[in-house]
Structure 1
Amino acid sequence: MSYICTSCGKETPTSTFHNACECGGLFSLPQDHLPLWQESLIDKSVWSQFRYHAFMNLDGDVWRRVSMGEGMTPIVSYNGNVFLKMDFMMPTLSFKDRGAATLVSHMKAIGVKKCVQDSSGNAGVAVAAYCARSGIACEIYVPEGTSPNKIAMIEGFGAKAVVVPGTRDHCAEVCRSKVKEEGAYYANHVYNPYFYEGTKAYIYET
């Protein structure tokens, strides 16, 4: 499978450790080869977001060894017109688990040994947790002012939390500099389209 650059259209194998196209454009994943929604394609033997694997870009069945039962959260009625999806019932208490599970599954499939990520909290916790599950070293850059509890959770999963003075944007810049210097895999929840492959599962669940 190949990424498609959203700027120039160039294809790049998804096995790359680069986080963007040579032209600087963001990667996307093709969707037109995936089947249209059919209930018969739901894998009802799986109790997680990956029961919808037929509709997702995935690397084989690596997700089976990475998944911690994310997704499948209840939907409850708030009033006659509003319903709430209880995503705090995810493994790390956040909807970011869907994307993290899918992204880390991809990382495991292509042989990533270490990743770095910048986050204001939830995504960092989720990636740290799934990296711990998968045996991938993880370094999370967070801006100053990040909740101490979030930092404690990141470190509790064995990842290194690096607190960066200044704004959230500056934190991201420092992290991307680290990626360039060390060649570490950038497990970013904005840049990497595999994260969105997991996030979209909430639509299928709903």
Structure 2
Amino acid sequence: MNAGYVCTSCGAACAADTHEPKCRCGGLFELDFTPPAWDPARIDRSEWSIFRYRDFMAVDGDVWRSVTMGEGMTPVIEMDGRNGVLLKMDYAMPTLSFKDRGAATLVSHMLAIGVRTCVQDSSGNAGNSVAAYAARAGIACEIYVPEDTSPKKITMIESHGAKVHVVPGTRDHCADVCRAQVAERGAYYANHVYNPYFYEGVNNPCLKAEA
């Protein structure tokens, strides 16, 4: 493991293999990781996924190999009639969402640190993505969704074998219910807002060079 966590509130350091969702002070974690200087020679051009850039990412060894589904590397096209405006076709991702980048990175980390069960709250797309990659990794997954979530999104999440909990009320209430379960059961919180490894997959500046 080549990264750690640091609390954004109190500055305390923490090992990245913790299963805790946040710092003891209540603050959120961020990755304590500085990638090497950009060097195109370090791209693994034999790999067709975001992990071709793994030398610049906070990844855990080669665990990603059993998790990746070829996310990333989606086409870039020029918008009709708008010279110079380029569009990234991320609907070509394995679950049709750019969130597959974050899910692949997060679930790889989860597998590396021994997570067996995870929970997440979502309005649909992130839950579907995490459910798909968790299934790929053999990690049990439960997704909490608010009651106004599209039935088709719920069906997609369930198709990966995840258990869906439909929570009455707002999206914020759904998150509260899920976090209460994290605290009560000790399940790993695979949340796309809380967890730094999800951000690593979608916001790592080195990945902006992706073709």
Fold match, TM over 0.5? Answer: yes
In structure 2, the partner of 1:10 is 12
In structure 2, the residue matched to 1:59 is 60
| Cα distance, 1:204 vs structure 2 | 2.6
Is 1:158 matched up with 2:161?
Answer: yes
* Identity score, percent: 66
Look up the match of 1:27.
29
1:48-197 aligned within 5 A: 48-78=49-79, 79-197=82-200
What secondary structure does 2:164 align onto?
Answer: strand
Report the AA paired with residue 135 of structure 2: A
Q: Secondary structure at the match of 2:119?
A: strand
Letter in 2 for 1:47: W
CA distance in 2, matches of 1:175, 1:83: 38
What's the Cα RMSD here?
Answer: 1.0
Return the letter of the residue paired with 1:198.
Answer: G
Residue 208 of structure 2 corresponds to 203
- Structure 1 residues without counterparts, runs of 5 or longer: none
Q: Is the 8 A contact 1:52 1:204 kept in 2?
A: no
Cα distance in 2 for residues equivalent to 1:9 and 1:45:
39
Structure 1 CA distance for aligned equivalents of residues 22 and 83 of structure 2: 44
Q: CA deviation at 1:30?
A: 1.8
Deviates most, 41-50 or 194-203 = 194-203
CA distance in 2, matches of 1:51, 1:135: 23
1:8 Cα deviation after fit: 1.0
How much has 1:165 moved relative to structure 2? 0.7
Whole-Å Cα distance in 2 between the matches of residues 147 and 52 of structure 1?
34
Counterpart-to-counterpart distance in 2, 1:204 and 1:52: 9
Deviation at 1:37, TM superposition (A): 1.3
Q: Given residue 28 of structure 2, which amino acid in structure 1 is its aligned partner?
A: L
- SS, match of residue 3 in structure 1: strand
Query: What does the per-residue CA deviation read over 1:13-34, in whole Å, with 9 as the maximum and x for residues that have no partner?
Result: 11111010111111011232x1
Q: 3-state SS of the aligned residue for 2:114?
A: coil
TM-score (norm 2): 0.95
Say if 2:4 and 2:33, in contact at 8 Å, map to a contact too.
no
Deviation of residue 12 (structure 1)? 0.8
Aligned length: 205
For residues 11 and 77 of structure 2, the distance between their equivalents in structure 1, rounded to whole angstroms, comes to: 42
